[in-house]
Amino acid sequence: MRILIAEDDAVLVDGLSRSLRASGYAVDCVTSGRDADLALSTQSFDLLILDLGLPHMGGLEVLRRLRARENALPVMILTAADSVEQRVRGLDLGADDYLAKPFALSELEARVRALVRRSMGSGSSMIRCGSLCYDQVGRAATLNDHPVELSARELGLLEILLQRMGRLVSKDQIVEHLCEWGEEISANAIEVYMHRLRKKLDGGDVRIATVRGLGYCLERPPEQST
């Protein structure tokens, strides 16, 4: 799960990114609207946290351009407490949620989880795949009702596969959603994480298929097929 933070307040960026990283998200940060626009038009994220008061292109313009590209990325806008008008304009331009500054990090995280959940089309925080259950709020998995111990990478990998259950996920997509800028992760490393994840899911009815040369697919158990 990869989040882009567009915010020019260094203290806030520091707090936000630390807290989101501690929760296992990959986090990239930009401090101007121009950089946000560039990142959003060239790369793929799972969520955007967007300050409206950004230098070199305001947040509303970043949002307008994003939606004009027909990009449905979930967007949470950050606004000053007294700017009802900006908030309304942001929501009208296609923001999914907003937080007025100052806010508690715990509230931001709860809203991030809710947005991600909604964008996956599931109102519930539990994703089920056969005997595998994944709690998106607690970020914990169980297999046959027993907890599965997963590293941060394995957890990230499992989330990517679960969000695209039944569909092919390429290694490039995995790298894109698992890594922050400046982080290097090789195709070999992905294979190693995948190998470990498979081993941990051994004993259930969940299968991660390898599509040679293309990627991976978490197969839906037969009774869940749509």
The residues that touch Ca ion, with contacts defined as CB under 5 A, are 8, 51, 53
Residue 8 or 205 having the CB closest to Ca ion: 8
Residue 176 CB, nearest approach to Ca ion (Å):
27
Polymer length of the chain: 226
Nearest approach, Cβ of residue 131 and Ca ion (Å):
47
13 or 129: whose CB is closer to Ca ion?
13
Q: Specify the residue, 76 or 206, whose C-beta has the smaller distance to Ca ion.
A: 76
Q: How far is the CB of 74 from Ca ion (least distance, A)?
A: 20
CB of 7 to Ca ion, least distance (A): 6
3-state secondary structure the chain: CEEEEECCCHHHHHHHHHHHHHCCCEEEEECCHHHHHHHHHHCCCCEEEEECCCCCCCHHHHHHHHHHCCCCCCEEEEEECCCHHHHHHHHHCCCCEEEEECCCHHHHHHHHHHHHHHHCCCCCCEEEECCEEEECCCCEEEECCEEECCCHHHHHHHHHHHHCCCCEEEHHHHHHHHCCCCCCCCHHHHHHHHHHHHHHCCCCCCEEEEECCCEEEEECCHHHCC
- Supply the minimum distance, in Å, between the C-beta of residue 52 and Ca ion: 7
Which residues have CB under 8 Å from 197's CB, separation 6+?
Answer: 150, 154, 157, 158, 208
Q: Which residue is nearest to Ca ion (CB)?
A: 53
Q: How far is the CB of 51 from Ca ion (least distance, A)?
A: 4
Query: Nearer Cβ to Ca ion, position 16 or 194?
Result: 16
Of 80 and 140, the one with the shorter C-beta distance to Ca ion is 80
Indicate the residue among 93 and 201 with the shorter CB distance to Ca ion.
93
